[in-house]
Each structure stands twice: as C-alpha cells, then as structure tokens.
Structure 1
C-alpha cells in the first residue's frame, strides 16, 4: 500500500475554513490523501460551517478544534501545510519540519460575517463552495 500524502489545513481558530477543507479532502481524496486541521489557537466549532457541510452530506458536528502549535510540538510531519486564512494570519502559522510545500488559500472568515442568519448562512455556503473547488483542484494537481 502506498503512503498517503499528509496535509494540514491551518486557519485562525480551526472553527470553520480549515475544518471544511479537512473534511472535503478526507471525503474526496481519501485514496491518496490524509488531512488534519488546526488553528493558530483552538476555538469553537462554527455552527454555520456545521450546517453548510451537513448540506453536502458531511457531518463535522463532533469535530474538536485543535492547535497547530500542539501538532508542531508533537513533531507531526506533513507533505503540505495549507493556510486558509487571510494574509496577515498566515504569517503567524508555525513552520513544520519536513514540509515539502506550503500553500496559501485566502477565504473569508465565516465568524466575521454580518447580516441576518440567512445572509450569513448563504455567505458561508459560498465560502464552502470555494473551499471545495480549491480542494478538488488540489486533488487533481497533486495526486
């Protein structure tokens, strides 16, 4: 059996964007990839992210938020570390030993959305769809 390509998705609190990216890569690319996600600091799982992923048939409601620094301290190694936060936050991400590639995908933060619940839900769906498209492109280009 071939070794899977290990990928870590990192955002600020591991509450939405990185959780969605991890779930999509593990769902769509499980034959070739193993994904984990973490935040610069562990936060609280975003209920909007849970809801829009459930619409895709993926349940992340029991996921725990994790700290990238805990993974770093554990000496975990990844082939790719993909930051999914804004430009200023990506610079705070730890450097992991053994990384062959570091990638940045910029996505809006669902926790900073404004408007009614339905408007925030619709904007989170758009973020989810952009993340899914990025993961699908990643799978096509890396495997």
Structure 2
C-alpha cells in the first residue's frame, strides 16, 4: 500500500498525517510532499507530535515533483491549496481524496493558544486518518469468506 499526503508547504499538516498513518501500520509506504514545499518542518508540528510519542523531526519537506511518476494507491490532500493545485500524476493513482484541516501555523495570539491550536489540529488529523485507515486500508486486508464473496 502506497500513500502520498499533500499539502501546500509540506511542513505541518501533511507531516503530522504522515507520522500518524505510518504509526498505525509500519507496512504502509507513506510519503508526504508539498505543492510549494517549505523545505523545513514547522517546529510547532514537530513538538505537537512528540507530545504523543511520534518523532517526525527526521522527515523532510519535499516537492510533489519528486513523486509525480510513481504509483499510488491513495493521494490525499490535507489543505485547500494543495487540493486546488494538485498536479496531474503521470503514474497510477488508484484514489484521490481530500481530508482538509485548519492550518495551525496561522494561529495568532498567546503561546498557550497557538500550542493549543497545534494540539487540536494534531488530534483531528489523528482521528480522521485513523478513520481513513480503518475504512479504506484495513478493509482491503480482510480475507474473503469461503464462499468466494465478501460476506
């Protein structure tokens, strides 16, 4: 199973989604990229993920151009900008989905408020990607019944 997660900057939401999806199942090949990659990770996203035991500090912020010719079971956009700017993939893409989230890097206010926004979005990403994992990926792994159907 190959999953590509796209965002505009590939520094925050796509990185968190990448970290969670990979934590659900080490057998899934997960990559994340940006339509306008920032080239670095957002420190707030790295901190928020570390709080739940997932280290994304080793991830890189990559351009979607790196992955255009590859085959993907899923290409998932996590922000409106990436959804609108998602390039045409020349490789095989079985399904393209949009699972959008607010951008916590745009939060303004006190440090505690900004940190709470990163946590809120992190938790939304975890819940929505776990739902995706169960409904889309795990269901494909279920064995067929002995009658040859999927009863």
TM-score relative to the length of structure 1 = 0.89
Is 1:93 equivalent to 2:86 in the alignment?
A: yes
In structure 2, relative to structure 1, the CA distance for the partners of 1:36 and 1:89 (3 Å cut) is closer
Instruction: Choose from 61, 69, 72 the match for 2:65.
Output: 69
User: Contact 1:48–1:121 (CA<8 Å) still a contact in 2?
Assistant: yes
| Matched residue, 1:83 | 77
Shift of 1:89: 3.6
Tell me by how many angstroms 1:68 deviates.
Answer: 0.6
2:14 is equivalent to residue 42 of structure 1? no
The alignment of Structure 1 onto Structure 2 pairs a total of residues equal to 135
Q: Distance in 1 between matches of 2:44 and 2:61?
A: 15
Partner Cα separation in structure 1 for residue 86 and residue 77 of structure 2: 8
2:25 corresponding residue in structure 1: 29
Structure 2 residue matching 1:79: 3-state secondary structure? strand
**Structure 1: how far apart are the matches of 2:58 and 2:134?**
29
Deviations 1:24-62 (A, max 9, x none): 11111224x221100012212111100010011011112
Distance 2:6 2:74 in 1: 11
Q: Which runs of 5+ in 2 are unaligned?
A: 139-151
CA distance in 2 between counterparts of 1:137 and 1:30 reads 17
Larger radius of gyration: 2
Task: Give the alignment's TM-score, normalised by structure 2.
Answer: 0.85
1:121 and 2:115 matched? yes
Task: Quote the Cα distance in structure 2 between the aligned partners of 1:133 and 1:109.
Answer: 16
Query: Does structure 1 retain, via aligned residues, the 8 Å contact 2:6–2:82?
Result: no
Partner of 1:54: 50
Is 1:111 aligned to residue 105 of structure 2?
Answer: yes
Q: Which consecutive aligned stretches of 4+ in structure 1 deviate over 6 angstroms post-superposition? A: none
State the SS of the aligned residue for 2:112. Answer: helix
- State the Cα deviation string for residues 56-77 of structure 1 (Å, max 9, x = none): 10111122100012221xx221
